[in-house]
Chain A
Amino acid sequence: DGGITQSPKYLFRKEGQNVTLSCEQNLNHDAMYWYRQDPGQGLRLIYYSQIVNDFQKGDIAEGYSVSREKKESFPLTVTSAQKNPTAFYLCASSWGRVQDTQYFGPGTRLTVL
């Protein structure tokens, strides 16, 4: 299960605070993705990046921001504008084509109190 890591595993924050989730991969993959997983709602795409210094909004980007300054890193910031931030967040990476296997990280469970 190595190759793509997320930290921390559990994260607690107070309402109104921004928080940044880390995602790192050493697979030399071009593409990276952030998903949000809620019970009964599957995996919903937040942001994705096909190349360094470029990224696109997914289906639920409001209240989130990302950066892709390095190929191996794709941090996600959950801002205070996200109305329901408590969720399980999964990062993934792939070679870039939609048909390429996405390899997921272990996830970060964010709880906003």
Chain B
Amino acid sequence: GENVEQHPSTLSVQEGDSAVIKCTYSDSASNYFPWYKQELGKRPQLIIDIRSNVGEKKDQRIAVTLNKTAKHFSLHITETQPEDSAVYFCAADIINTDKLIFGTGTRLQVFP
């Protein structure tokens, strides 16, 4: 079946450093790639998404890049802050369905 692999499973960085989370998807027809952030004890929330017709999208300190040929996409967080500490999930759509398939999550810890 279709799947999304996400790495690393945990990531620790010093405040102010950059963090990169990578995902690889299996369905070459996937067109939509969202990223959700889940802070401890809270619900997941969409933070950024990208569609297959663009290669990069930025929103302040976060950016997502997409390489359709290699079937991978990445989340980049610059100038990390303690409030960036959370679990991040990538996802990809499954063509001809209304479903997303999620990665296994990355726990990011930002140390002051």
Contacts and interface: CB of A to CB of B under 8 A. Distances in A.
B46 A42 contact: no
A55 B98 CA distance: 11
Interface in B77-112: 89, 91, 93-94, 97-105
B13 to A, nearest CB: 20
A39 to B, nearest CB: 9
Contact of B43 (A40, A48, A59, A104): A104
B104 A45 contact: no
B23 to A, nearest CB: 11
A50 B98 contact: yes
A96 interface: yes
B1 A59 contact: yes
Contacts of B99: 45, 48, 58, 98
Interface string B31-62: 01010000000111110010100000000000
Contacts, number: 56
Contacts of A104: 43-45
A98 B95 CA distance: 9
B9 interface: yes
B98 A42 contact: no
30 contacts: A1-B43, A31-B98, A40-B9, A40-B105, A42-B6, A42-B102, A42-B103, A42-B105, A43-B44, A43-B89, A45-B100, A45-B101, A48-B98, A50-B98, A59-B1, A59-B101, A90-B44, A96-B98, A98-B93, A98-B94, A99-B32, A99-B49, A99-B93, A102-B46, A102-B100, A104-B43, A104-B44, A105-B43, A106-B43, A107-B43
Interface of A: 1, 31, 35, 40-45, 48, 50, 56, 58-59, 90, 96-99, 101-102, 104-107
Interface of B: 1, 6, 9, 32, 34, 42-46, 49, 51, 89, 91, 93-94, 97-105
Identify the 10 closest CB pairs spanning chains A and B, nearest first. A104-B43, A42-B104, A43-B102, A98-B93, A42-B102, A101-B46, A99-B32, A104-B44, A42-B105, A98-B98
